[in-house]
């Protein structure tokens, strides 16, 4: 009987440790509650990108959690133009949702999770099928900054080829962490990566910046295609110094466009 006492004590200690671990996990979740303004901005980003024609019924935008960098916020699977605060979910950097409550998740959430995992400085991500972008992902014409508003493209715009990472028989979607990590690697230090036959991914250091970049990436593609169609000589793109200086200037006035776009997106219909 005496020998059973240490075993009982060990069992009780193990149980207490497990209970403490559960309590610590619960406390950690409580501390990780995102600020309401972050959720409001994410809802606004969804509505703005829809209103500006960057996304339609498909596409998604996320933001890194404001107090826990190991998490990010993303809506449940739905049309961006219909997103409300109640639709926002928390995810870890493996793409797992906390408390999904049976709600459908975006299949391509791994684009977001793997970029956040690979680049701690990235605070927001947009994936869209921005229509004017598609031709630049399937031809040998590189997307380059044609004016100062799209100067962030000066860092280069690589093209992700899913066949290199997933073989020749995918449905073109980024369905798992392996493909998400391949997108993150191709993005590298650029602000935008094109996805052959699919769309593009845009990243930024804030939700305002990533929305700005997503919109002006689409606009730049339209303008560049028009300039190339004119066919009257070489197009004068921004050089490296011009792109860097224009980007620094634009980063100081992001709120001007953000407030206008937000007002337009929420105007009565």
Give yes or no for a contact between 129 and 194, defined as CB atoms under 8 angstroms apart: no
> Which residues 6+ apart lie within 8 Å of 104 measured at CB?
76, 77, 78
Give yes or no for a contact between 94 and 176, defined as CB atoms under 8 angstroms apart: no
Q: Is residue 218 annotated as part of the catalytic site, yes or no?
A: no
Give yes or no for a contact between 73 and 90, defined as CB atoms under 8 angstroms apart: yes
Give the residue carrying structure tokens 């961006």. 80
> Which residues 6+ apart lie within 8 Å of 35 measured at CB?
66, 67
Instruction: From the candidates 90, 108, 208, 218, give the one annotated as an active-site residue.
Output: 108
For 182, other C-beta atoms within 10 Å of its C-beta total 18
> Which residues 6+ apart lie within 8 Å of 93 measured at CB?
70, 71, 72, 113, 116, 117
Q: What share of the chain is helix, strand, coil (3-state, %, to 5)?
A: 50, 15, 35
Catalytic residues: 108
């Amino acid at each position: 009987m005496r020998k059973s006492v240490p075993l009982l004590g060990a069992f009780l200690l193990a149980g207490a440790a497990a209970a403490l671990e559960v309590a610590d996990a619960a406390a950690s979740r409580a501390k990780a509650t995102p600020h309401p303004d972050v959720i409001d901005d994410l809802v606004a980003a969804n509505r703005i990108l829809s209103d500006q024609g960057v996304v339609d019924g498909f596409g998604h935008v996320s933001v890194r959690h404001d107090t826990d960098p190991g998490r990010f916020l993303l809506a449940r699977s739905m049309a961006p133009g219909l997103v409300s605060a109640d639709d926002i979910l928390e995810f870890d950097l493996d793409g797992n949702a906390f408390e999904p409550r049976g709600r459908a998740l975006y299949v391509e959430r791994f684009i977001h999770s793997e970029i956040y995992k690979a680049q701690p400085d990235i605070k927001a991500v947009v994936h869209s099928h921005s229509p004017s972008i598609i031709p630049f992902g399937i031809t040998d014409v590189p997307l380059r900054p044609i004016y100062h508003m799209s100067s962030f493209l000066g860092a280069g715009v690589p093209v992700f080829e899913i066949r290199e990472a997933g073989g020749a028989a995918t449905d073109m979607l980024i369905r798992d962490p392996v493909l998400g990590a391949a997108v993150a690697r191709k993005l590298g230090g650029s602000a935008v990566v094109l996805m052959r036959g699919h769309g593009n991914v845009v990243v930024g250091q804030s939700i305002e910046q990533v929305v700005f970049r997503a919109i002006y990436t689409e606009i730049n593609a339209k303008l560049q295609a028009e300039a190339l169609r004119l066919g009257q000589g070489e197009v004068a793109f921004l050089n490296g110094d011009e792109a860097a200086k224009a980007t620094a200037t634009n980063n100081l006035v992001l709120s001007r466009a953000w407030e206008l776009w937000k007002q337009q997106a929420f105007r009565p219909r």
